[in-house]
Amino acid sequence: MVSKKLLDLLNEAVARELQVSIQYMWQHILWAGVEGFAVKDELRSIAITEMKHAEEIAERLAYLGGKPTTKPKPIFVGKTLKEMIKQDIKDEEGAIRLYKQIIKTAQNEEDVTTARIFRKILEDEENHHDTFTSLMEK
């Protein structure tokens, strides 16, 4: 039997993935100028990956008996490129912390499937973090 704690963590992950998939897609659409042109496609790609994560996590949550949220965490688009990227870095750092916690909780509950799913998603989030921190460099 899966704990309420793990179900709650998975729902937090769904809300987070919904948030960043919308956030990154709007940033992709709204970025302008030479810098925006250079990174728009990457942002779009990351946004789509994040939506796939939301789907995979929601499916797992439903399988475990939980009800996936439809409400994203607060979305931040930003007014400048620098503002956007700074927030995106923070959001990815939050995801990395959360997903490590989910992996640990799942392992403690002997839920190897959830742990495996989140190890793969964690790898993607670390790559997104690397992309955003690289974008902050000039």
Q: Whose structure tokens read 């990351």? A: 46
Domain, as residue range, for 61: 4-136
Please state the domain count of the chain. 1
- Kindly report the CATH number assigned to the domain that includes residue 38: 1.20.1260.10
Digits of tens for pLDDT over the chain (138 positions)?
899 999 999 999 999 999 999 999 999 888 777 666 678 888 999 999 999 999 999 999 999 999 999 999 999 988 888 899 999 999 999 999 999 999 999 999 999 999 999 999 999 999 999 999 998 886
CA dihedral 44, 54, 74, 33 (to 10 degrees): 0
Q: How many whole angstroms separate alpha carbon 25 and alpha carbon 49?
A: 11
